[in-house]
Structure 1
């Protein structure tokens, strides 16, 4: 019998330097996601400051962002609970070892702080706990990192970190009593230069960050009340280059380009957990559903938030719809409270689980309802367009009849067609898809058209061809009827006939 020999692996585990490349580059393909990671950490620190009593309940949590394109630098500073001086180095050098796991904090993997390291030459963290005499500063050198990654002789993670990280402290002069700061310096030039594009950063943060709704969104009251009923919500005051605080992009009217779609009602949906409790709270802003919402409106699609920070993009829940295209017509959000619904490492999707499946299953009926609303709205617009085109054709044909240049047989045929069109208008007005208020307006327009038939066809109308010799009138009438028959544009044909009659009368 062979003897089994157990071997300890404690001393054989080695983490290589390439983990830094995976964390700083491969995980964060979109540069702007670095802002999300730092805003997320700031939000956790601000919540901690409130819990510690360092930030009063009525004092705003603030994040000030300075973007200096000339120096190619970005600074993000918050007024949350800074890291204690004795813990700064240990906590900021812990990779994948966050102490937040298992807490209510938003981040928990301990890698997000390095999200921008692949995009800048120096990544600096500065921390001053409440009233501390010194500011502790820790800098990751991106240039030295790239050199170390290219060096085949340097392979151990701890050795590489020791080579590329500098730690120092300085007197706390001319700085707030408490703050934490991230500074990206020597930002690399990328296509679009998105990290330094104030407009792009603003649009991104308005969608992702925990901001207050704008005053232009009157439905915000309903949403905020529903969220506050579940517990405290985080809203931060974030400004860029000392500008006005940013707000969420929602408003009462959605600009679709050629038209607008007004918000009509907000539906709030509670999603229960598998074993009870509230897994998530969703809201959907039902509007007129006139078409797909442009990306530039910043509200397209159902968004998902944890700790009031967006996960992924507008496509993250498109599978709740019977056809994914209807997601682009929708305005709504899902706020997740069940910690078992876990974002993946890049926070652009969720880990597969029964709890995530439960979320999707409970939201799918809403997706079907939105699809129905979209189809109904599309059908209604089609009927309204059909009614308007029919009404316009009635008016055009009555104008031709009033012109009086047709033979009696042709005129009667034209009036017969007008009566058919009015019957078509009446049928549209009876369609169940048409709201009652629109039906009333349609009936009024039908009555006007019927009155016009009587006005424009009464006896005693003047024949415009009386000025033509009797033996030529028939030829002129035949020519005029041919013009109407051969023309695809009845208005243009009438204009031509009017000019002919004017010439004959001259």
Structure 2
């Protein structure tokens, strides 16, 4: 039986496979970190010595991705880089194992070049793909009799040349990168890599990093992370995960929530096998997280993102609640395998079991969210009661006589309100300022009530001495005893106005 694989299969494995141009970086990085793991095993590198440098030349429309992993030996380089879907990697050991990821750059550049040198060989191998010609050959009107092997032979060139014996590296070069691909926008590239790559937490921004790492280790998992840098101009910038202690939950009011704790939870199968380790942040849950780079529990395999911030939402009974929490689900089972696009996992028995276990965890998170919502509602009621009390006191004490019993009642009410608020723990800076403002206003009223006379208007006149206030108090009392209430009020107001202008 003669089976031919048509040339358009290659288009399905490039443009059809990688819809998001940024996936180019993820594919090459996962190959690099597999190389680092091999370098650790052979003693060529120690953890921390590894480095991936991504250089973006926007003006020249060029991108290079360099790593100092084991590299490829000359005898295996052509087969490793030119064969399609024939990878020697194993899914249980390696992040990239299907043998198609290296094709990712063909859709977004005019030329794709791989250069590699293996430690101990005085040679380097360069394999170049003419992506511009490839796209021309893939036009339907072009020779349709070409099969995929002939197509690749027409666009691939190889070269072996001398190199220092002690060099070991792998380099990817993309030339003539499409300007509309977004691959040359360094800030966007950094943001993508911060979310998707196997990098460490930024301990300057995220103080919970050590606690998460330590708790995960206790549960049986050590996070693998690698040094990745981006350079455009000037000094390279190291890539870290984007998590921070505080994050925006209301853009219009600039309201931020703060992490108050972290939970690390093991997910095990019914027979006790460790399927995953999950960490998620506890907070006041004041609202949905604004920044998509922080939002949602996310799947990771080999510490590389699988899917995006919405992929885990289906594990929540109410999917929108995933947008209120941040954290990661690190898949440890070798039988839970990312699909070819790495936008989810292959549907198998292990994956179904994982989702069933996750539904219990997400139910607990939802319970915490609802409890926080109820507490916020009570906070709102307490604050509103306090502010209404202040308005009532202000209106009642704006002017007129304050009897000793009235003064005592006001003082008691102020203490009650202050006590009720003192037990509240503000959930945000906005609530903290609101609480302070209420306490401040209550203190002013309390100070005014105990100002020394029975007349609020006199107590508010700070330019009068205490003796002068007492004299005026006797005048007001005499007027109230000798004339009717309307006349007494009119005369009292006139005297107060006169002394205000004094």
Q: How would you bin the TM-score normalised by the shorter chain?
A: 0.7 to 0.9
Partner of 1:108: 97
The answer to which of 133-142 and 243-252 deviates more is 243-252
Of residues 196, 203, 207, the one that matches 2:195 is 207
Partner of 1:5: none
Instruction: Give yes or no for the alignment of 1:284 onto 2:280.
Output: yes
Partner of 2:154: 163
Partner of 1:311: 306
Contact 2:397 2:456 in 1 (8 A): no
In structure 1, distance between residues paired with 2:411 and 2:174: 72
Contact 1:402 1:456 in 2 (8 A): no
The correspondence of residues 232-247 of structure 1 with structure 2, limited to 5 A, is 233-241=223-231, 242-247=235-240
Partner of 1:262: 258
**CA deviation string 1:157-188 (max 9, x = no partner):** 11111111111123326x97100111111001
Root mean square deviation, CA, Å: 4.0
1:116 positional shift: 1.7
Partner of 1:301: 296
In structure 1, distance between residues paired with 2:203 and 2:186: 23
Instruction: Give yes or no for the alignment of 1:31 onto 2:21.
Output: yes
Q: Secondary structure at the match of 1:389?
A: helix
Partner of 1:66: 55
Partner of 1:222: 211
Of residues 250, 260, 269, the one that matches 2:243 is 250
The answer to which of 349-358 and 66-75 deviates more is 349-358
Of residues 99, 108, 111, the one that matches 1:122 is 111
Q: Secondary structure at the match of 1:305?
A: strand
In structure 2, distance between residues paired with 1:79 and 1:201: 21
Contact 2:23 2:104 in 1 (8 A): yes
Of residues 28, 46, 50, the one that matches 2:36 is 46
1:68 positional shift: 0.6
- Shift in alpha-carbon separation, 1:232–1:172, aligned structure 2, 3 A: farther
In structure 2, distance between residues paired with 1:390 and 1:474: 37
1:358 positional shift: 1.3
1:471 positional shift: 8.2
**CA deviation string 1:393-442 (max 9, x = no partner):** 2112212211226999xxx9xx99999999999889999x99xxx9xx99
In structure 2, distance between residues paired with 1:189 and 1:44: 30
- Shift in alpha-carbon separation, 1:87–1:417, aligned structure 2, 3 A: same
Instruction: Give yes or no for the alignment of 1:178 onto 2:168.
Output: yes
Contact 1:266 1:283 in 2 (8 A): yes
In structure 2, distance between residues paired with 1:458 and 1:394: 23
Partner of 1:493: none
In structure 2, distance between residues paired with 1:228 and 1:459: 68
In structure 1, distance between residues paired with 2:454 and 2:402: 15
- Shift in alpha-carbon separation, 1:462–1:307, aligned structure 2, 3 A: closer
Instruction: Give yes or no for the alignment of 1:197 onto 2:193.
Output: no
Q: Secondary structure at the match of 1:144?
A: helix
- Shift in alpha-carbon separation, 1:379–1:426, aligned structure 2, 3 A: farther
The answer to which of 269-278 and 79-88 deviates more is 269-278
Q: Secondary structure at the match of 2:98?
A: coil
In structure 1, distance between residues paired with 2:262 and 2:169: 38
Contact 2:400 2:456 in 1 (8 A): no
Q: Secondary structure at the match of 2:172?
A: strand
Query: Once superposed, which parts of structure 1, at least 4 consecutive aligned residues long, lie more than 6 Å away?
Result: 415-431, 456-459, 466-472, 474-477, 503-506
Instruction: Give yes or no for the alignment of 1:386 onto 2:381.
Output: yes
The answer to which of 243-252 and 176-185 deviates more is 243-252
In structure 2, distance between residues paired with 1:202 and 1:81: 25
Contact 1:68 1:196 in 2 (8 A): yes
1:85 positional shift: 0.4
Give the gaps of 5 or more residues in structure 2. Answer: 459-475
In structure 1, distance between residues paired with 2:415 and 2:274: 55
- Shift in alpha-carbon separation, 1:235–1:505, aligned structure 2, 3 A: closer
Contact 2:65 2:173 in 1 (8 A): yes
- Shift in alpha-carbon separation, 1:503–1:397, aligned structure 2, 3 A: farther
The answer to which of 121-130 and 379-388 deviates more is 379-388
Contact 2:83 2:99 in 1 (8 A): yes
1:272 positional shift: 1.1
In structure 1, distance between residues paired with 2:166 and 2:176: 25
Partner of 1:22: 12
Contact 2:62 2:175 in 1 (8 A): yes
Contact 1:402 1:457 in 2 (8 A): no
The correspondence of residues 315-330 of structure 1 with structure 2, limited to 5 A, is 315-330=310-325
Give the gaps of 5 or more residues in structure 1. Answer: 1-9, 478-497
Instruction: Give yes or no for the alignment of 1:396 onto 2:391.
Output: yes
In structure 1, distance between residues paired with 2:489 and 2:12: 85
